[in-house]
Amino acid sequence: MQKKVLVTGGAGFLGSHLCDRLVESGHDVICVDNLFTGSKRNIEHLLGMTNFEFLRHDVTFPLYLEVDEIYNLACPASPIHYQYDPVQTLKTSVHGAINILGLAKRTGAKVFQASTSEVYGDPTVHPQPESYWGNVNPIGVRSCYDEGKRCAETLFFDYHRQHQIRVKVARIFNTYGPRMHPADGRVVSNFIVQALRNEPITIYGDGSQTRSFCFVDDLVDGFLAMMASHDELVGPINLGNPYEFTMLELASLVISVTGSGSELGYQPLPQDDPRQRQPNISLANRELGWAPSIALEDGLERTVRYFRSVLSR
């Protein structure tokens, strides 16, 4: 059935891929983005489609639209971007959630919140299940993002309990793929750009800290499955790849895929940088029948092709 779907943050990395899939499925898609970290280039191939429209708007201000479903992805997600203006980052998560939930309340729309594994902070439980409450510094340099997303989750659950809003909350773990910003400061884009330029690959600490990496196509599958699930499945639910890699292993793989001559360059570990990050996705597997299928090497090859084209412009 054709639906009118709002995607906030729709010109960003994840949002643009989600818009692609929704447009391909025949839905009427309204993409909202203030273009702070998003880019029109990510959605330019959609601008001529009759079932796609773009609205430049900041979600910290109310939206007045008629929609059936909402995917709330609006928020800078890389440390470089969200620490640039931490107050605005916090407002985007909190005021943005209030405005989007108000819209859902008025229209009766089902609303999906793109939360984050950062709600777990520097975890003392490994891998992280949804039942874990986290280990977060509330006053650190990353807190504007971590605590903003935690507060947004609170708002979603309170609107659900108090106003019976149909909500879906997903906690996204490290995701990568084409349309990542080359200067977003995230590890996959950092390593690929440095490798393609034959620059030293920056390793923070000793490189033993771990992350799990989910290719964007797999993640979008999870978004759509979560939104399509029965209303009683509210979440939160982890979406990510459970296979864990150290930063040294990732650097080695990127050097191999790019054919780079880059060496490794070591730097001090940033404040509050988590030592481990790995999702427990048993809930998503059981309730959604979802699990990622794209291996890291395959996903990196597709991502490297994208960055080669971007850096050659």
Residues designated catalytic: 145
Round to whole Å and give the CA distance between 229 and 205. 41
8 Å CB contact between 156 and 97: yes
Paired strand residues for 53: 30
Nearest to 145 by CA among 85, 212, 186: 85
CA-to-CA separations, 135 to 124, 138, 150, 207, in angstroms, rounded = 7, 9, 12, 21
Q: What share of the chain is helix, strand, coil (3-state, %, to 5)?
A: 40, 20, 40
CA-to-CA separations, 31 to 96, 179, 198, 240, in angstroms, rounded = 15, 16, 37, 24
Round to whole Å and give the CA distance between 240 and 216. 10
Round to whole Å and give the CA distance between 134 and 8. 26
Nearest to 183 by CA among 276, 255, 76: 76
Round to whole Å and give the CA distance between 76 and 29. 21
What's 265's DSSP letter? E
Round to whole Å and give the CA distance between 263 and 265. 7
Half-sphere exposure (Cβ direction) of 115: Cα atoms closer than 13 Å: 31
Entry field: residues in the chain: 313
